[in-house]
Amino acid sequence: MERILYSDNFWEFKGEGEYSDRKFLMGSPFPVMMILVSYLWFVLRFGPAVMKNREPFSLRNWLLFYNAAQVVISFIISALGIHFLWRYGLWHSTCYCEKDGTGEQIIDGSYYYFLTKVIELTDTVCFVLRKKQRQVSFLHVYHHTIMVMATWSIVKYSRTDNTVFLGVINSIVHIVMYGYYGLSVFPHLTKYLWWKKYITVMQLVQFTLMFLHILVSHVVSDCKPAYILTASVCFNTVLFMYLFGDFYVKSYIKKVKASDIVSAGKKISSNIGTKNSINYIINHHKLAGKMH
């Protein structure tokens, strides 16, 4: 029986339940919950404890393969999504997922996108095995966990035309992000990876566009996502804008200011004993004061 509810309440769902239920991990939420519980246990407790007195794994060959595969997969998903958006537009007055035979295509595309989010949990596992626990931050772990939960919920309950854009914009960002990760495996390329901070900028733009798109979709489209999905996307995109913005400030703005102060201190030391040393110290003291 088709599970399509057309009530104007908070829990409004659309979709063909039986079709998605036959797919791997989609029949019940428990397998996905077990994956996430195991993931959190490993990256927060078991993994760090096991690696505490061990040498970090290199994983160089695996990382090359994994990041290259992620770039290819993200490119394919974004290309298919862009083709859909080009054909039907960003917002729809008609639910094409219920016509034209595109409903199952949207479910399939959303399902494959969900599987990529499950695979991306590997990112954190690799951090733990390489003893880069500092990168296993709240932002990182929460982001990976919530993406699995959200994409599973979309495939299970609320596939609409207007959720395609969310996957497209995220996949485009991931092409660049995993491309960077792949290149960073080669130490001699580090000096060419100065553009790392712009990946965070892309992510901030991504969350802004997602927030605006889901809101506009809910206002102007007759193919509205579920109310709870709209609320969840709005909450998490705002949260991610704050968390990623805070990360950007701490990683790139405050670090630059700190390095400027250190550089000024070195110049002061080198100028001690010269006739301009007093003026140099005064000027750089003013500079440091402005930075605070």
Give me the active site residues, please. Answer: 143
Backbone angles phi, psi at 59, to 5 degrees: 60, 20
Nearest one of 214, 208, 242 to 228, comparing CA atoms: 214
Dist. CA 89–CA 136, nearest whole Å:
38
Q: Cα–Cα–Cα angle for 222, 227, 232, nearest 5°?
A: 130
Which string of b and e fits 103-138 if b means at least 16 CB within 10 Å? beebbbbbbbbbbbbbebbebbebbbbbeeeeebee
DSSP code per residue over 203-265:
HHHHHHHHHHHHHHHHHH-SSPPPHHHHHHHHHHHHHHHHHHHHHHIIIIIHHHHHHHHHHHH
Q: Quick check: 114 and 151 in contact, CB under 8 A?
A: yes
Dist. CA 119–CA 148, nearest whole Å:
9
Residue that has been written with the tokens 């003026």 in this structure: 279
Dist. CA 162–CA 285, nearest whole Å:
55
Helix H or strand E encompassing 174: helix 164-183
